[in-house]
Structure 1
Amino acid sequence: MEIRPIKTEADYEATLKEIEGLMSAEPDSPQGDRLDVLVTLVEAYEREHYPIGFPDPVEAIKFRMEQQGLSVEDLVPVIGRKNRVYEVLARKRPLTLRMIEGLHETFSIPAESLLKHSSNQSNHAA
């Protein structure tokens, strides 16, 4: 089983093609083992060359609202008055540290995503 590191985009494409051919491999078979190793190599390559950043903080809040069936009223205890919630959702008011902590603790929104909001908020408001 000769397997080499993925160093170039051509290596990456060839490995993806090989993985596609191995998708029906039985677990604990030589083909299944090869598939496991190739997938691990692809994941490492993608982590380095195609990193996935955090979502836009307002979109993360809206996604969590949709996911949990939350309304603006549900955000009031964390963000403040209703009009303040609407301002945050419209990107007209930046999140404060207290809001970020509350959203993270109450709704399990990744703090890193919400902190990004503070540094990018001025770009959206301008």
Structure 2
Amino acid sequence: MEIRPIKTPTDYQATLKEIELLMVAEADTPEGDRLDVLVTLVEAYEREHYPIDFPDPVEAIKFRMEQQGLTVEDLVPVIGRKNRVYEILARKRPLTLRMIEGLHETFSIPAESLIKHASHRRGHAA
């Protein structure tokens, strides 16, 4: 089983095609093992060349609201008064650490999305 690193976009495309052919391979067979190794190589290549950034925090909040059928009133216990929730959603007020923690714990919004927002805003304030 000769396997080489993925170094170029051409290598990447060729590996994707081979993975597609191996998708029907049984686990614990030479083909299944090859599939596992190739998928690992593709994941490493994609992490380096096609990183996925976290969504904007306000968009993450709105997405979770839509996903769970939440209203502004549902956010009040975590963010504060209704007008404060509207200010956050309109990007007129930054999230505080307490809000970030509450949104993460209560609604399972990735903290990284919310923290990125806070550090991004600090960077512009300097």
The corresponding residue for 1:88 is: 88
CA distance in 2, matches of 1:79, 1:27: 48
CA distance in 2, matches of 1:7, 1:72: 48
In the alignment, structure 1 residue 53 sits paired with structure 2 residue 58: no
For the aligned residue pairs, the C-alpha RMSD in angstroms reads: 1.9
Q: Which runs of 5+ in 2 are unaligned?
A: none
How far the C-alpha of 1:120 sits from its partner, in A, is 3.7
CA distance in 2, matches of 1:97, 1:41: 38
CA distance in 2, matches of 1:64, 1:45: 30
Opposite residue 90 of structure 2, the aligned amino acid is A
Opposite residue 41 of structure 2, the aligned amino acid is L
CA distance in 1, matches of 2:122, 2:61: 18
| Identity within the alignment, % | 86
TM-score (ref. length: structure 1): 0.89
The corresponding residue for 1:112 is: 112
Contact persistence 1:91–1:121 (CA under 8 A): no
How far the C-alpha of 1:14 sits from its partner, in A, is 0.8
CA distance in 2, matches of 1:101, 1:19: 40
How far the C-alpha of 1:73 sits from its partner, in A, is 0.4
Opposite residue 37 of structure 2, the aligned amino acid is V
The corresponding residue for 2:97 is: 97
Is the partner of 1:55 in helix, strand or coil? coil
Cα displacement string for residues 37-83 of structure 1 (whole angstroms, at most 9, x for unaligned residues): 10011001111111111111011111111222211101001111111
The answer to which of 60-69 and 42-51 deviates more is 60-69
Opposite residue 104 of structure 1, the aligned amino acid is H
Q: Which runs of 4+ in 1 moved over 4 A?
A: none
Is the partner of 1:6 in helix, strand or coil? coil
In the alignment, structure 1 residue 76 sits paired with structure 2 residue 76: yes
The corresponding residue for 2:19 is: 19
How far the C-alpha of 1:121 sits from its partner, in A, is 4.5
CA distance in 1, matches of 2:105, 2:21: 44
In the alignment, structure 1 residue 67 sits paired with structure 2 residue 67: yes
